Structure 1
Amino acid sequence: MAAEAPRTAQQRKQDTLTRLGRDLDAWVASADREGNAHLVPLSFLWDGGALTLATAESSPTARNLRASQRVRMSVGTTRDVILIDGTVETFSRETVPVDLADAFAARLWDARVGTTRYAYFRVTPRRIQAWREENEIAGRDLMRAGHWLV
């Protein structure tokens, strides 16, 4: 099967923003202090500049994100992927900004209620890559050092 013609960088950015606003789930990769990798699927909220995640405070992912303040995320499929490397800001149930928690609850679920204590993690992208096929690999960088290239 022949691949479609590669998208322009501008089209790839637009497609990326559309997916971030539409999709609900991502693969979230983190590592502990010894470098042991941990990978989990988590729901996310995109607000146009950052992604917000929530997971149990005691989970390996929460511990890793709090300690390293870095994350790698993947949205989409292997033939239409978005990779995001970002810095992480952590909020507890008590410190999460109300507007952020309300927006997360409206789109996904309310992590402030229930017996399990959840932490919120706001991911600010530092690098974003997106590609569909091999013919888009060369131009896959859309953001570097937190700045859009297109």
Structure 2
Amino acid sequence: MPRCPDPWLVSFDLPFVPAYGRRQLTDWAVSCPFGPASFGTASQRPPDRPPHERGVRTAAARAWPGGAEGNPEMPTPRTHGERVAAARLRLQQEFQMWLSTGGSTGPHLIPVAFVGDNDAIVTATGENSRTVRNLLEAGRARVAVGTTSDVVMVDTALDGLVPVPEVASDVADRFAAVSHDPRQMPGYVYIRLLPRRIQVWNGFHEFPHRTVMLKGEWLSDPVD
């Protein structure tokens, strides 16, 4: 099988940047990594996958830094208020997240369901799991909600581990609606996490001013 040409590798380096507009991919970008005959020409690629989901970057994005100012190919960043609203909405409506913890045995990452409970993020996992051990050791975790191209990143502090019989019934019911039901599974514990810092961005153009919460308080103005 032919090796992907170097330009393909360059165009897919991290971090992924949303590419806006309906640009045609070159044949080599479409065909790799499966070989030049796999998909044929750009017009024969699988339909309706937005450029940012394919990891493709426009020339404007590749030329970053320089930002969106004066560049029609880069979108206008959302205002601070819009990003605060977006973070609040996603934490209320989404129910899947990546949960990252760390301890003396190293970092650990799991995909897990969650629900909101006032200011807290609530999830559940095995009471003897590595995630729980790391939380008890370090007292903090990092949460990611969304995709690599549109993310809400949350640094949290452990608010507590809640035994299954002690969890509020409405929280347990809502969690069971989006995941398994720990009330029916021995050996589980609920985890309450309190957001301390929240960052919101959907591309390089939103790297500046991406922090919307610090020290557990929503910010009225950007700080970065």
Match of 1:39 in 2: 109
- TM-score, normalised to structure 1, is 0.89
Please point out which of 74, 87, 96 is paired with 1:3: 74
Pair 1:90 & 2:161 matched? yes
> Unaligned regions of 5+ residues in structure 1, if any?
none
Pair 1:30 & 2:101 matched? yes
Match of 2:142 in 1: 72
- TM-score, normalised to structure 2, is 0.61
CA–CA distance in structure 2, aligned partners of residues 73 and 143 of structure 1: 14
Pair 1:16 & 2:16 matched? no
What is the percent sequence identity of the aligned residues? 36
Pair 1:61 & 2:131 matched? yes
Q: Verify the 8 A CA contact 1:93 1:117 in the aligned structure 2.
A: no
CA–CA distance in structure 1, aligned partners of residues 167 and 136 of structure 2: 14
Match of 1:144 in 2: 214
Match of 1:104 in 2: 175
> Unaligned regions of 5+ residues in structure 2, if any?
1-18, 20-72
Aligned length: 148
CA–CA distance in structure 1, aligned partners of residues 119 and 170 of structure 2: 15
CA–CA distance in structure 1, aligned partners of residues 85 and 168 of structure 2: 28
CA–CA distance in structure 1, aligned partners of residues 164 and 118 of structure 2: 23
Task: Report deviation, 1:107.
Answer: 4.4
Coordinate RMSD, CA, aligned: 1.7
Q: Which is strand-richer, 1 or 2?
A: 1
Task: Report deviation, 1:73.
Answer: 0.6
Any idea what SS the aligned residue of 2:166 has?
Answer: coil
With a CA cutoff of 8 Å and minimum separation of 6, indicate the structure with the bigger relative contact order: 1
